[in-house]
Amino acid sequence: MLNLLVEQAEVLARINAEHFNEMEPEQARKNAVTILSIYQEVEMYLNEINQLDSNNSLADED
């Protein structure tokens, strides 16, 4: 799941970089916002995973 999200962001970032001068400014902005939201979603999932790992580590210590 996370790999797919990161891959989508990378593809959009590459398209934005390669075709930036050809794009309408609004489309480039929308792509940038989408890229940012994907990375924020990935960060949220990673934080949840880290929290679960932390909770499991604490439970193992008891």
3-state secondary structure of 1: coil
pLDDT at 20 over 90: no
* Enclosing H/E stretch for 30: helix 25-61
On whether the CB atoms of residues 42 and 6 are closer than 8 A, the answer is: yes
Per-residue pLDDT at 62: 59
pLDDT over 80 at 53, yes or no: yes
Is the pLDDT reported for residue 56 higher than 70?
Answer: yes
Better-predicted residue by pLDDT, 38 or 20: 38
pLDDT at residue 59, as a whole number:
73
Report residue 26 as tokens: 């609004």
Which residues contact residue 13 at a Cβ distance below 8 angstroms, ignoring those fewer than 6 apart?
Answer: 35
Task: Give the per-residue pLDDT at 43.
Answer: 92
